[in-house]
Structure 1
Amino acid sequence: MDSLPEILPFQRRLDELDAQMAEPSFYSNARKAAEISREQQKLAQLIADHKAYEKTGVELAEAQALLKDPAGDAELKELAAAELPDLQAARIRLHEAVLGAMLPPDAADSRNTVMEIRAGTGGEEAALFAAELTRMYQRYAEERGWKIEPMGSSLSERGGYREVSFLITGQDVYRQLKFESGVHRVQRVPLTEANGRIHTSTVTVAVLAEAEEVDIHIDPQDLEISVQRASGPGGQGVNTTDSAVRIIHKPTGMMVYCADGRSQQKNKASAMSVLRSRLLQLKEDAERAKYADERRSQIGTGGRSERIRTYNFPQSRMTDHRIGLTLYSLSQIMQGAIDPVIEALQRADFEEKFAALTGQPYTPRRAGSSDDE
């Protein structure tokens, strides 16, 4: 049976968290209490699964020994043979559950997420596809019960998005969406193309873990904040008040513009949230750059310079270039059915982390293999 990393450090950490949660002042900081509670629940499940894994191993060994005993009772051997497949399947399932829980998680996995989608090369066609990608992600979010809060947008002449940003809140949002960052390429015949030629356009997607004030300190002196009238296609309430907010972070030159809210205060809060998230991403990218000589994950960094995916409409094909995944169900994917893609990316990330933790490539285990002996 494949060995697992030592469980003792995880048990010690669980004991520490249990002690913290027993303190009278534990709930004085609601945010910290929630984070500790989530970690405690995950560790408690890990310990429970590890105990079940060890128990199943004992039962499996006993059943195999009974089957190999030439003097064993025939009826008991029959029962053991019947139980063996279920024990082997449970052993494999628990092994992967425990190992997955032991692998170091991304500290931002449980955070809400700011998504920024921008039209790249391709003009109006790129803007139209940016709008389609926006609908794809928002449908995916709605299916999972997440909430979507618009933060800013700029419409193109034909109703596409030159750029759009929105906040998604819910459970493990960043964990599910973090691999979507990068350049998305679309190949299709635009509606404006009279000769039926296939055009290639690009859209950039940025997935930013929502940053809190404690993550990033911003000196007010570093900000240039201005208010202006919201611009848009028209309608009631548009261009009647100076509610739009533009913030420039002078040290980096970053500019954030938010105008979707009807109040200046709401737009300022949204703009500051986006700015903090961008600065946090910049800080994390700088940290990753220090280790650029290390072996990179096949998932990549998610940087915008990477062409991560191609959507080919004539062939109804979507290809994720990072893991070599090709699916011929583009219409369903554009309706928000992106779970197969996300799960494949998470699997590749799991295998990479497994190799880093154990020093050996991950090999999927099968029931009845010699590892169960």
Structure 2
Amino acid sequence: MKKISLIEKLEKFKKEFYEISKTITQSDVISDPKKYKILLKKYLKLEKIVFLYEKYKKKWNLLQEANSILIEDSDSDLKQLAYIEKKEILENLYFIEKKAYKLLYQEEKSEEDNLEEDHKNAIVELRSGTGGYEACLFVEDMLRMYTMYFKKSGWKYKIINIQKGGIKGYKEIILDVNGKKGVYGNLKFESGVHRVQRIPKSESQGRVHTSAITVAVLPKVQEIEVNINLSDIKKETFRSSGSGGQHVNKTESAVRITHIPSKITVECQEGRSQHKNFEKAISVLRSRLYQNEKEKRLKKISIQRKSLISTGDRSVKIRTYNYPKSRITDHRIQKSFYDLTGFMNGNIQKMINFLKIEEKNKNISILR
């Protein structure tokens, strides 16, 4: 890293420091203990960086003066003093730079950690909610919508588990979604309650019914990120009730695992191999445990959780699909589109882009 690059980085944090120092003294911030605590923590971190920056600039200016004397002055005694001083300044700059790099790395690493999760693949869980049979049908419609969106995005998916909802539709579907990058970063905005308003085919009087499903999007995590002790796992096998021909119905290839400490249960019955079904179930369990830990951390800083668009809270109604008016409304950003057919055909990126912008704005507003 060149010295000028370091100065530019330090200048950026200095600017942010002075912005926060102005904000933190405002009455509305002081009266909000949670917001004040977050800003104060950021202020104290940046204060250390700015202190080093001021020290660095002074030494840098002295170095330029010493260099000027060595190049332009003809007095040999003065040049000798300048040479000794330059050597001392360079040693001081080296130690300041070392400290600055360490602080900058810590600050930038925390920013990168937030972005790193967005680049992960995802586990997507769809479940029917209120509305009975109609909710199961909507799960099927949403499955179609998402798989068409995956195709447009160049992502691949596998069905981990399916529970049928009767004659048609599904009670639950779990998908493993993989792509080059940004899978979780886009899909995380889908977590929550999706409400549908439409006239069921069985409705003879043409009345609009309301039903709902829940969507949970979890970042897919590696074994090194969440360690699962197999002694904490209760494993059960049973005959698959899903598609797959006679083989899956004759053998106990389906797997149900229960994580005893958290009481989380996962089923997988889509594969013919019990071993592979077990691996898939473990993958889903790992993501759920990771999400639980993430939510615990977010609760500790509730002001941030309330400000973020992508809370992942499945109890919150996030979107309404109104079929009679061909309208989709996202309640988090109060945004409506009037192309329900296109939306249900997988054209959801435009809505996601609006949610991304809002999330970015909300994150910035925390520091203002």
User: Do Structure 1 and Structure 2 share a fold, with TM-score over 0.5?
Assistant: yes
SS of 1:126's equivalent in the other structure is helix
Q: Residues 111-150 of structure 1 correspond to what in structure 2 (within 5 A)? A: 111-150=120-159
Partner of 2:191: 181
Residue 248 of structure 1 aligns to a residue in which SS? strand
8 Å contact kept, 1:298–1:322: no
**Residue deviations 1:174-201, cap 9 Å, x none?**
0111110000000000111111111100
Partner of 2:251: 241
Specify the alignment match of 1:213 in structure 2: 223
Say which of 139, 158, 171 aligns to 2:167: 158
Q: Please tell me whether residue 8 in structure 1 is matched to residue 9 in structure 2.
A: yes
Q: Is the 8 A contact 1:128 1:158 kept in 2?
A: no
Instruction: Confirm or deny: 8 A CA contact 1:300 1:322 kept in the other structure.
Output: no
Q: Which runs of 5+ in 2 are unaligned?
A: 1-6, 13-109
How far apart in 2 are the matches of 1:134 and 1:330? Answer: 15
Return the alpha-carbon distance in structure 2 between the equivalents of residues 298 and 323 of structure 1.
11
Q: Tell me which amino acid in the other structure corresponds to 1:232.
A: G
CA contact (8 A) 1:309 1:318 kept: yes
How far off its partner does 1:140 sit? 0.3
CA deviations 1:9-35 (Å, max 9, x no partner) are 699xxxxxxxxxxxxxxxxxxxxxxxx
Change (3 A) 1:350 1:187: same
Partner AA of 1:8 in structure 2: K
Name the structure 2 match of 1:229.
239
Equivalent pair of 2:194/2:320 in contact (CA under 8 Å): yes
CA distance, structure 2, for counterparts of residue 147 and residue 295 of structure 1: 30
1:106 deviation in Å?
3.3
Map 1:288-307 → 2, pairs under 5 A: 288-294=298-304, 296-297=306-307, 299=309, 301-307=311-317
Which letter maps to 1:288? L
Amino acid corresponding to residue 176 of structure 2 in structure 1: L
Deviation for aligned residue 1:133: 0.6
Structure 2 residue identity aligned to 1:112: N
- 1:220 Cα offset (Å): 1.3
Matched-pair contact (CA < 8 Å) for 1:103–1:354: no
Give the secondary-structure state (helix, strand or coil) at the position aligned to 2:280. helix
Higher helix share: 2
The one-letter amino acid paired with 1:354 is I
Deviation at 1:160, TM superposition (A): 0.5
CA distance in 2, matches of 1:109, 1:300: 11
Deviation readout 1:248-300 (Å, 9 max, x if unpaired): 01111110000001111110010000000000000000000111145722515
Q: In the superposition, relative to structure 1, how do residues 325 and 243 fare at CA in structure 2: closer, same or farther (>3 Å)?
A: same
User: How does the TM-score come out when normalised to structure 1?
Assistant: 0.67
Change (3 A) 1:318 1:272: same
8 Å Cα contact 2:188/2:310 also seen in 1: no
Match of 2:287 in 1: 277
Equivalences for 1:24-39 in 2 at 5 Å?
A: none
Question: Relative to structure 1, is the Cα distance of residues 330 and 254 closer, same or farther in structure 2, using a 3 angstrom cutoff?
Answer: same
Moved more, 288-297 or 147-156: 288-297
Return 227-236 or 272-281, whichever deviates more: 227-236
How many residue pairs were aligned? 264
Is the CA contact 1:297–1:352 (under 8 Å) kept in the aligned structure 2? yes
Corresponding residue SS for 2:250: coil
CA RMSD of aligned residues (A): 2.2
Structure 1 stretches of 5 or more lacking a match? 1-5, 12-101, 361-373
Kindly indicate whether residue 170 of structure 2 is the aligned counterpart of residue 169 of structure 1: no
Shift of 1:234: 7.3
Distance in structure 1 (CA, Å) of the matches to 2:330 and 2:111: 24
Contact 1:118 1:164 in 2 (8 A): yes
CA contact (8 A) 1:119 1:127 kept: yes
Partner of 2:211: 201
Shift of 1:158: 2.6
Query: What is the CA–CA distance in structure 1 between the aligned matches of 2:346 and 2:170, rounded to whole Å?
Result: 18
Distance 1:225 1:324, change over 3 A: same
Report Cα offsets for 1:315-347 as digits up to 9, x if no partner. 000000001001111110000000111000001
Which of the numbers 97, 114, 118 marks the counterpart of 1:109?
A: 118
On the 8 A contact 1:216/1:276 being kept in 2, the answer is yes
Which residue of 1 is the match for residue 275 of structure 2?
A: 265
- One-letter amino acid of the structure 1 residue matched with residue 130 of structure 2: T
Q: Distance in 2 between matches of 1:167 and 1:319?
A: 27
